[in-house]
């Protein structure tokens, strides 16, 4: 089993707070709108945080870390474990999201096929009259 790093010995992540927020959100494969909804803030607020134009207040930072599955320390200072997009949990979320998108695309394709079949039937009747 791999041992956790000592916070004193860890080399801080050199990214900005906004960059770390973006990376953690990206690792979960969620949109800005989805994150905003979960936190009860506007999408513009998330965009401002990710763009380093503003920073979340302490209470939002704690909520943000919880939603993103990272420590508040990592978000603030870059010390500690970064999100791992290849962890089993993250991988399952990504696969489930892709499956959901594929099912939605499949349903849209089926609707388009039905529509085209109806048009063919109508055109066939018009030309046979």
pLDDT per position as a tens digit, 28-86:
889 999 999 999 999 999 999 999 999 999 999 999 999 998 999 999 988 887 776 55
Note the pTM of the prediction, 2 decimals. Answer: 0.58
How far CA 86 is from CA of 18, 20, 24, 36, 59, in Å, comes to: 21, 17, 12, 24, 29
Are 79 and 100 in a shared domain? no
- 18 and 41 part of one domain: yes
Reference 81, options 16, 28, 12; nearest CA is 12
Residues 78 and 107 in one domain: no
Is residue 43 in some structural domain?
yes
H/E run at residue 125: helix 88-128
Split into its structural domains, the chain has a count of 2
The predicted-structure confidence for 71-108, as pLDDT tens digits, reads as follows: 999 999 888 877 765 555 656 676 778 888 899 999 99
Q: Does 66 reside within a domain?
A: yes
Report which of 65, 116, 69 is spatially closest to residue 88, judged by C-alpha positions. Answer: 69
31 in any annotated domain: yes
**Whether residue 107 is found in the same domain as residue 78:** no
Residue 6 domain flag: no
Instruction: Report the CATH number that the domain containing residue 40 is assigned in CATH.
Output: 1.10.260.40
In a domain, residue 108? The reply is yes
Cα–Cα nearest to 81, from 71, 89, 90, 91 = 71
Statement to judge: residues 98 and 71 lie in one domain: no
Could you tell me if residue 5 is inside a domain?
A: no
CA 92 vs CA 67, 82, 88, 97: distances in Å: 16, 18, 6, 8
Q: Domain residues for 67?
A: 11-85
């Amino acid at each position: 089993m791999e041992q956790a790093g000592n916070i004193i010995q860890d080399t801080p992540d050199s990214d900005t707070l906004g960059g770390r927020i973006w990376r953690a959100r990206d690792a979960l494969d969620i949109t800005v709108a989805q994150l905003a909804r979960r936190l009860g803030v506007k999408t513009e607020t998330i965009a401002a945080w990710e763009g380093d134009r503003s920073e979340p207040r302490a209470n939002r930072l704690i909520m943000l870390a919880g939603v993103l599955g990272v420590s508040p320390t990592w978000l603030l200072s870059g010390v500690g474990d970064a999100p791992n997009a290849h962890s089993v949990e993250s991988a399952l979320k990504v696969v489930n999201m892709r499956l959901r998108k594929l099912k939605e695309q499949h349903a849209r394709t089926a609707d388009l096929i039905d529509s085209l079949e109806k048009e063919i039937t109508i055109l066939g009747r018009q030309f046979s009259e």
